[in-house]
Amino acid sequence: MDIWMPDAATSLYGIIGHPVGHSLSPLLHNRALRALGLNCVYLAFDVTDLEGALSGIKALGIKGLSVTIPHKQSIMRFLDEIDDVAKRIGAVNTVLNKDGRLIGTNTDWIGAVKALEEEAGRLDTKKVLVLGAGGSARAVVAGLAERGARVLIANRTLEKAKDLAEQFDARWYSFDELPDVEASIVVNTTSVGMAPDLERSLIPSDLLPKYAIIMDIVYSPLKTKLLRDAERAGCKTINGLRMLLYQAVAQFELWTGKPAPVKEMEHALREAMEPDK
Ligand code: ATR
């Protein structure tokens, strides 16, 4: 069996964040790179000195970056260019090093939209309730608005829901108003349900039967309480790995210019999550 080894012509990609030790991105991208036989490798960088890291990236000619917590917003002031979609979202999750210029974009919105379209089909006729109004919600809402969905936002802090809703022509609600909110799809973008908050969900289970599809962007655990309740209520469910997968697919295609081997990437995720199934 041939074992691929990096050599003097190998291109380097990576993820920057803090912490990054549990990131699934190296697994996803390296599996995809190996599947296509590209002479590239993808590493995780635990970065606290963001400005220093970015000058290192330029100096070393690192070709592209995924960006994760806590750098998605703070990175924006250090980049040479930011595209319109990342500006609208107010966050960068992807950097392309184009001939020494660092260009920021955002593929989280594509990840969210693709994950939803897989189950729901076209979104332009759908009413979608987004729970949360933080950074992740901004990407989800931007994607839904791009696809022409009707967007409703509910958040604990009403002021933040209102600000986000006003930017994207959406409506906003408090959680107390949920019994009166009509929608066919719900997307949880908050950390409620994420370990160690395993037994909490923002939607009381008696409200769930009125929704057709429930998506949670949390993937640890894979089945949040919200998704477990939704399954029991007969809703279709979408777990957080679908958005993770499709945002990585979009990054890979941007960096390499080649169609991503989606099945291979799915396989890698399934293997990594096996114990949690
Ligand atoms: P991210 O970038 O992951 O979206 P964020 O910008 O800090 O993180 O946003 C977190 C979101 O989860 C917010 O909508 C937050 O609600 P507030 O705006 O009221 O803070 C929501 N959130 C976090 N913990 C929550 C909790 N215990 N109950 C309800 N909402 C919560």
133 lines ligand 1 (CB under 6 A): yes
Residues marked as catalytic: 72
Q: Are residues 147 and 179 in the same domain?
A: yes
Q: How far apart are CA 103 and CA 246, in angstroms?
A: 20
Q: Are residues 136 and 216 in the same domain?
A: yes
Q: Are residues 23 and 138 in the same domain?
A: no
CA–chain centroid gap for 164, Å, is: 18
Domain count across the chain? 2
Residue 6 lies in a domain: no
Residue 191 lies in a domain: yes
Residue 215 lies in a domain: yes
Q: Quote the ligand 1 centre to 11 CA distance (angstroms).
A: 37
Q: How far apart are CA 11 and CA 201, in angstroms?
A: 43
Residue 159 lies in a domain: yes
Q: Quote the ligand 1 centre to 192 CA distance (angstroms).
A: 8
Residue 264 lies in a domain: yes
CATH number at residue 232: 3.40.50.720
Q: Are residues 65 and 140 in the same domain?
A: no
Q: DSSP H helical segments within the chain, as ranges?
A: 25-35, 50-60, 84-89, 108-120, 135-146, 158-167, 225-232, 240-256, 262-273
Q: Quote the ligand 1 centre to 134 CA distance (angstroms).
A: 6
Q: Are residues 123 and 226 in the same domain?
A: yes
71-114 pLDDT, tens digit per residue, is 999 999 999 999 999 999 999 999 999 999 999 999 999 999 99
Q: Are residues 115 and 84 in the same domain?
A: no
Residue 152 lies in a domain: yes
> Is residue 270 classed exposed, middle or buried when 0-12, 13-18 and 19+ CB atoms within 10 A define those classes?
exposed
Q: How many helices (H) and strands (E) does the chain have?
A: 9, 12
Q: Are 193 and 93 in contact (CB under 8 A)?
A: no
Q: Are 234 and 212 in contact (CB under 8 A)?
A: no
Q: Are 155 and 97 in contact (CB under 8 A)?
A: no
The DSSP element (H or E) to which 2 belongs, if any, is: none
Strand order in the sheet with 81-82: 40-46, 11-17, 64-67, 94-98, 101-105, 81-82
Any residues with CB less than 8 A from the CB of 21 and at least 6 apart, and which?
A: 44, 46
- What residue ranges of the chain have pLDDT lower than 70? 1, 275-277
Q: Are 38 and 63 in contact (CB under 8 A)?
A: no
Question: Which residue's CA lies nearest to atom 10 of ligand 1?
Answer: 134
**pLDDT at residue 274 in the model:** 76
Residue 182 lies in a domain: yes
157 lines ligand 1 (CB under 6 A): yes
Q: How far apart are CA 65 and CA 255, in angstroms?
A: 9
**pLDDT at residue 53 in the model:** 98
Relative to the CA of 156, which ligand 1 atom is closest? Answer: 19
Q: How far apart are CA 60 and CA 261, in angstroms?
A: 27
Instruction: Report DSSP letters for 63-101, one per residue.
Output: -EEEE-TTSTTGGGGG-SEE-HHHHHHT---EEEEETTE
pLDDT over 90, % of the chain? 96
**pLDDT at residue 219 in the model:** 92
Q: Are residues 121 and 215 in the same domain?
A: yes
Residue 74 lies in a domain: yes
Question: Which residue's CA lies nearest to atom 31 of ligand 1?
Answer: 190
73 lines ligand 1 (CB under 6 A): no
**pLDDT at residue 275 in the model:** 54
CATH number at residue 34: 3.40.50.10860
**pLDDT at residue 186 in the model:** 98
Whole-prediction pTM? 0.95
Q: Are residues 81 and 128 in the same domain?
A: no
Q: How far is CA 49 from CA 60, 63, 67, in A?
A: 16, 19, 14
Range of the domain at 134: 109-238
34 lines ligand 1 (CB under 6 A): no
